[in-house]
Amino acid sequence: MATTENLLPSAIEAIGNTPLVELSRITRDIDGRILAKLEYLNPGYSKKDRIARQIIEDAEASDELKPGQTVVELTSGNTGTGLAIVCGIKGYPFVAVMSKGNSLERARMMSALGAEVVLVDQLPESAPGQVSGADLELVEQETRKIVTARQAFRADQFRLKSNFNAHYLSTGPEIIRQIKKTILSNHLKLVLLIISLNLFLCPN
């Protein structure tokens, strides 16, 4: 969600610059402030859009990703959605590999965004809708097979430094920029980042 009055050339430029809002009613009777970074306003509805963009752009810069090369990654939905958006715009075929135990709605969303979605069977003893570690290992194995067979670029969200860099280069500076006028001037003592909830706890 790029906060700009200018026309953006694509949805990629709309990633990031999400609003930071104070949840003042929650902290009415406590000594502290809670700020929420509204990452659901990214094009793919999550902070994972940031890492998708960073992974692809870093791979382009290092020449690891060639024009038109297939991109492959395992996903439960959010990272795959971000990659589907970024790869679709940049012209890279994208293959999302996910367990059948994950949400089929997310699989349909990625498919609608142009991704090829490969669904991997769960183990017979696995509960439907509950992806186990062993189920994830099957997804990992299938991902590696596809990468080898298609000579694809692996957008490895768990191992590539781009995952960290996405937040070091964009999310972090955004937060500092957004809070510095009101909070840093009041002698900020602590910023606690809760990534899964996109919350920031800022005691006075």
49 with 42: CB under 8 angstroms? Answer: yes
In what helix (H) or strand (E) does residue 165 lie, and over which residues does it extend? Answer: helix 162-166
Which residue type, as a one-letter code, is found at position 127?
A: A
Q: Within 13 A of 94's CA, how many CA atoms are on the CB side?
A: 30
Q: Shortest CA distance to 73 belongs to which of 163, 157, 160, 6?
A: 157
C-alpha span between 74 and 156 (Å, rounded): 8
Map tokens 């990703």 to a residue.
65
DSSP string covering 39-94, please? GGGSTTSSTHHHHHHHHHHHHHHTT-S-TT--EEEE-SSHHHHHHHHHHHHHT--E
- Residues with catalytic function: 48
Q: Which residues are 192's β-sheet partners?
A: 201
C-alpha span between 196 and 204 (Å, rounded): 23
